[in-house]
Amino acid sequence: QVQLVESGGGLVQAGGSLRLSCAASGRTFSYYLMGWFRQAPGKEREFVASIYWNSGITTYANSVKGRFTMSRDNVKNTAYLQMNSLKPEDTAVYYCAVRALGASDFGSWGQGTQVTVSS
């Protein structure tokens, strides 16, 4: 089992920046793909970014491409989401999740961290 703890959320003005962290523990050798997702009030959860744990290859949603950067520190077992040029529509609860090697979906999720962007 993998445990994930997000941190770094908060209130920021439009145009500002935040860096989210996702600390992982447990069966860390099973990591394959780590992702960030977000859910705004009244909306469905949506994909934000992902990173292959071994290669570091990243993928982004079109809505955040060029503004957000996902990275990971293999030694610290921590993933990051650097969010720049934040917009009010980025306001949501942000979750990190892990897809284990051989799994077909993201099976472990964190508790989420709130990001609020004021206009």
Summarised one tens digit per residue, pLDDT across range 22-42 is 999 887 666 789 999 999 999
Residue 7 pLDDT > 70: yes
- Distance, in Å, from the CA atom of 20 to the CA atom of 34, rounded to the nearest integer, reads 14
Residue 57 pLDDT > 90: yes
Task: Return the sign of the alpha-carbon dihedral for residues 62, 67, 71, 77.
Answer: negative
pLDDT score, position 78: 94
pLDDT score, position 30: 63
Centre a 10 Å sphere on the Cβ of residue 3 and count the other Cβ atoms it contains: 13
Residue 98 pLDDT > 90: yes
Residue 112 pLDDT > 80: yes
What are the structure tokens assigned to 107, written together?
A: 């099976």
What is the percentage of the chain residues whose pLDDT exceeds 90? 83
Give Cα 74 to chain centroid, integer Å: 16
What is the percentage of the chain residues whose pLDDT exceeds 70? 97
